[in-house]
Amino acid sequence: MTKTEYPKIVFFGTPDFAVESLRALLDGGFNVAAVVTMPDKIAGRGHKLIQSDVKRFALERGLRVLQPEKLKADDFVAELRAIGADLFIVIAFRMLPEVVWSMPPLGTFNLHASLLPRYRGAAPINRAVMNGDTETGVTTFMLKHEIDTGDILQQERITIDDNEDVGSVHDRLMALGAGLTVDTVRHIVAGDLKPVPQEALLQGEEPTPAPKIFAEDCMIDWTRPARDIHNQVRGLSPYPGARTNLRADGRDEAFKIFRTALCPGRAGQNPGRVTISGGKLFIAAGDGQLEILELQPAGKKRMTAADYLRGARFEGDVTAF
């Protein structure tokens, strides 16, 4: 099939997760007529305008870029309609109004980083890892009024290792999603997809929510089971990072913890109690202990626990809270 036989596409996306799918579409010869992404943001001490990952890539590839402040604005809707696209693709973007997603004749589909109806919401990858899931995946589905509820087109699955962090899962899903996006477009062109309502997959159960990550989600409660804390750390690493405080020698110090190991052979102590043994750092949880492998003291770089301990000097009890 030649490029002119492919549907004319408008691609909606903002972060790096969406870039791989856009790259795959272009490298596959698909007709991407325009890209819609978030307006540039002012950030940093120099108050510089920061472009989205999708915008930077789109400009490198010579694509037309639209950056509406309001998705319902008459001028944006008119500009979008004038493109005459056959299909819209949405990946990691804002919620679209019906006047937009209902516009193209072939509809609008979204790539979501979960096995819907599991993990509807803004942080599906984080939540899957934080909950200790052993499997996740990507889903393409048709957009409708309620967010992440549309009929499912296709899904691909991967397993999650017990010690894998969200950064690794993100990158694998990003690559998997790029392939699924291209495959979904090809099937839409062929007209051989049979969308499946999510209600048929729920079988009477409630969908799993995946709300955005808030500050309270990052704070470690050391009274929880060790495995739950281990999963919390994995699900927040490398960003935004699980957080705790150490109280030692009458002072408190804030930390981020990025990597831990379960210690099934070490007996439990008072939750939060810190012990140092054999050049290793351990913190007691509700039912055992965790070895801290990588951390970041406030105002310093991420480092191994061994490097941290080489410069740390403690006297008396040390407690994490």
Residue 54 lies in a domain: yes
The two tokens of residue 248 are: 């030692």
Task: Please count the other Cβ atoms lying within 10 Å of the Cβ belonging to residue 44.
Answer: 9
Instruction: Decide if pLDDT at 250 tops 90.
Output: no
Residues 165 and 78 both lie in one domain: yes
Predicted confidence at residue 2, as pLDDT, reads 47
Torsion of CA 259, 220, 300, 122, to 10 degrees: 80
Residues 242 and 189 both lie in one domain: no
Average pLDDT, the chain: 94
Instruction: State the Cα–Cα distance between residues 130 and 227, nearest whole angstrom.
Output: 10
Q: What is the pTM of this model?
A: 0.94
What is the extent of the structural domain holding 35? 3-202
SS3 88: strand
pLDDT digits (tens, 9 = 90+) for 268-310: 679 999 999 999 999 999 999 999 999 999 999 999 999 999 9
For residues 111-123, one letter each, b for 16 or more C-beta atoms within 10 angstroms of the residue's C-beta and e for the rest, the string is bbbbbbbbbbbeb
Q: 85: which residues sit within 8 A by CB, 6+ positions away?
A: 7, 8, 9, 10, 33, 34, 103, 104
Predicted confidence at residue 182, as pLDDT, reads 98
Residues 16 and 147 both lie in one domain: yes
Domain count, the chain: 2
Based on its alpha-carbon atoms, the radius of gyration of the chain, rounded to whole angstroms, reads 23
Residues 271 and 125 both lie in one domain: no
Predicted confidence at residue 281, as pLDDT, reads 95
Helix or strand run (H / E) with residue 205: none
End-of-domain residue from the set 202, 237, 257: 202
End-of-domain residue from the set 202, 227, 248: 202
In 3D space, the residue among 188, 319, 148, 312 whose CA is nearest the CA of residue 244 turns out to be 319
Helix or strand run (H / E) with residue 34: strand 31-36
> The domain spanning residue 134 has which CATH number?
3.40.50.170
Predicted confidence at residue 1, as pLDDT, reads 43
Residue 210 lies in a domain: no
The two tokens of residue 116 are: 């819907």
SS3 93: coil
Residues 60 and 173 both lie in one domain: yes
